[in-house]
Chain A
Amino acid sequence: MSSGGYTTSGKVVVNVRQAGPRAAILDIEGEVSAFAESALMDAYKRAGADGAEAVVLNFEKLDYMNSSGIGLLVTLLIRANRNGHRLLACGLSEHYQHIFELTRLNEAIRVYDGEAAALAAAGAY
Chain B
Amino acid sequence: MNLDPQGQPSRESWVIGEFVVSSAVGNEREAAERVVAMVRQADTRPRSVGHPVDLLPARLEQLKTAVAEAVLNAMEHGNQYRPGSSVRVSVIVSGEALVVRIADQGVGGPRPWRAGLHAAGLQAQEPDLAAKLAGEQPPRGWGLFLIAQMTDDVRILNCEGEHIVELLWYLDETGGNEGP
Contacts and interface: CB of A to CB of B under 8 A. Distances in A.
Nearest to B144: A67
Contact of A66 (B62, B68, B138): B68
B58 interface: yes
Given A66-B29, A103-B127, A103-B129, A71 B141 contact: yes
Report the interface size class on chain B.
Answer: 20 to 34
Interface in A70-87: 70-72, 74-75, 77-78, 81
Interface string B8-28: 000000000000000001101
Contacts of A107: 129
A108 B26 contact: no
Contact of B149 (A34, A70, A94, A102): A102
B46 to A, nearest CB: 29
Contact of A67 (B29, B62, B129, B140): B140
B146 A67 contact: yes
The 10 residue pairs across chains A and B that have the minimum distance between CB atoms: A71-B140, A74-B139, A67-B143, A95-B61, A67-B142, A71-B139, A75-B139, A70-B142, A104-B129, A74-B132
